[in-house]
Structure 1
């Protein structure tokens, strides 16, 4: 399979996995959440009220589901800036927010023929689950989700780039 087809296939695979997870009725985590509109399925705690939502914070040692609201907030912050489709901007922002850089993965910003990527994905592994984000012109609004970690130890399927900065 050519690398040019890999990105759309990866995006379609992510959508299919998330869609099928919703069909089981036993999904332990919320599905993908478009990050431009609030969603009650992302944060629904007894202390939450419709008029006074708390600002999400990093839950040190917490689960991926517990940290999804904060992950989403960080992604929104980068998306609203000048580096919307720059993987390094997301990794740097997530690391600055307190996520472990060694537990992260990111896909390339450029295709194999040096064109801008239609979408990029990035992740943070927390235990056996992953916080996954996807952004780019083919995606529209950023998407964040909690997905199961891969048996290989990572979160993203396919080729990722080294986080060596």
Structure 2
């Protein structure tokens, strides 16, 4: 009687092991072939339709521009406006006009601070020498933004201090801001 391949004995003598091994091998081979076919399909070049109609393109929303630096906070406190005051002071201090009081007043007014609320000390002495330091201020709702610069000042300095009891921000004689 002829022996069918399905019922032939394997090297261990068990007839079903050989059939199970063949089925498992063909299943694995089919699985690998399917994965390769799917992978290769993704790599195949696509045909370009020469008469295709343009599809609408999506445009990202334009972001709202943000200010480059601090801005004047009209309804804010002196502390809220210290960053802008400091930036203006540092900008002027980095120029050739770094010891000219008018340059600070003009720059602060240009940034939106009220010129009528400002004070500045003289930048020249009574014998017409450059002052060792100058101070300038902006009165702001019972407080003062005060800046100090000059050769005797290690670095431009800005602070918020309470206004003086008699009013104003700077002690001593200040220069009239008449320009």
Residue of structure 2 aligned with 1:91, choices 98, 105, 123: 105
Residue of structure 2 aligned with 1:76, choices 75, 84, 90: 90
Q: Distance in 1 between matches of 2:98 and 2:108?
A: 14
- TM-score, structure 2 normalization: 0.61
Q: Distance in 1 between matches of 2:131 and 2:155?
A: 15
Instruction: Report the equivalent of 2:154.
Output: 140
Of structures 1 and 2, the larger Rg is shown by 2
Q: Which has the higher contact order (CA 8 A, sep 6+)?
A: 1
Q: Distance in 2 between matches of 1:133 and 1:78?
A: 11
SS of corresponding position for 2:136: strand
The alpha carbon displacement at 1:140 in A equals 2.2
Residues 1:130 and 2:124 aligned together: no
- TM-score, structure 1 normalization: 0.66
Q: Distance in 1 between matches of 2:69 and 2:91?
A: 13
Instruction: Report the equivalent of 2:166.
Output: 152
Q: Distance in 2 between matches of 1:154 and 1:89?
A: 20
Instruction: Report the equivalent of 1:117.
Output: 131
Aligned residue pairs total 112
SS of corresponding position for 2:178: coil
The alpha carbon displacement at 1:89 in A equals 0.0
Q: Distance in 2 between matches of 1:55 and 1:113?
A: 40
Which deviations, in whole Å up to 9, do the C-alpha atoms of 1:89-145 show, x marking residues without a partner? 000000000000000000001111111100000000001000000000000210000
The alpha carbon displacement at 1:61 in A equals 2.4
Q: Distance in 2 between matches of 1:105 and 1:149?
A: 12
Q: Give the 4+ runs in structure 1 shifted more than 4 A.
A: none
**Structure 1 residues 33-112: aligned runs within 5 Å:** 55-112=69-126
Q: Distance in 1 between matches of 2:88 and 2:147?
A: 10
